[in-house]
Amino acid sequence: MPFARRNAITLKLLFVAALVLLLHVPLHLVNGLQEERARTHKRAIPRFIVDASPRAELVDHPVFEAYRTVGRALKYAVLVLALVFTAFFLFEILGGLRLHAAHYALVGAALCLFYLALLALGEVTAPGVAYAGAAVASSSLIVSYRAAILRSWVRAGAIAGLLAAVHSVLFVVLRMEDFALLAGTAALFAALGAVMFVTRNVDWHGPQPEVTR
């Protein structure tokens, strides 16, 4: 029935929004861990290096660049979560699939692990390598899992392309310190425009979505 369908879509959207907010808890823990380890490494720096620097936080040490990268990446976490969950929601609407709340929760957990992996790898390797390794690890979990629940490697390939695009845009934004806000805003406009275009002919009230190709 149209009324039941409308309610189901509304409830799913509310759940996704609530999940994005709930996932801030583990992300906050990752941020706290990042700040704690940054303080620990700063205390471990030889005293003569700190004394030679006018500001201790400006000590040229690769690990501090990794901590700054994690901190800045976490500021855009809500956008990453929203984009990925929106893509899965569109798979439900346009592909006639039904995804359980647990599916969204597990994907959200994998996305949170990206930031933890970025922190862990950043302490032992270059920031760029750490970012690539964390992105590949997290995306591999999601793509392999989605191949099973979406019952199609083609659909999983589309998810892989989406994740690659999201992580690529985030990497560029993190590197563009002076224009990060502008680049991030432009990416959001592009993403919203793509969602509007894809869903322009969806009948949200009908028993089945109707999409004109």
> Structure pTM?
0.81
Q: Are 72 and 181 in contact (CB under 8 A)?
A: no
Least confident of 38-47, 82-91, 152-161, 200-209: 200-209
Within 13 Å, how many C-alpha atoms sit on residue 194's CB side? 11
Q: How confident is the model at residue 7 (pLDDT cuts 50, 70, 90)?
A: low
Say what the pLDDT of residue 63 is.
73
Q: How confident is the model at residue 205 (pLDDT cuts 50, 70, 90)?
A: low
Judged against a pLDDT cut of 80, whether residue 207 lies above it is answered with no
Judged against a pLDDT cut of 90, whether residue 139 lies above it is answered with yes
Average pLDDT, the chain: 80
Q: How far is it, in rounded angstroms, from Cα 176 to Cα 198?
A: 30
37, two tokens: 């380890």
Q: How confident is the model at residue 204 (pLDDT cuts 50, 70, 90)?
A: low
Least confident of 9-13, 105-109, 116-120: 9-13
pLDDT in tens, 174-185: 887 767 778 778
93, two tokens: 């609407």
**If you write DSSP's letter for every residue of 32-59 in order, what string do you get?**
HHHHHHHHHHHHHS-HHHHHHSSSGGG-
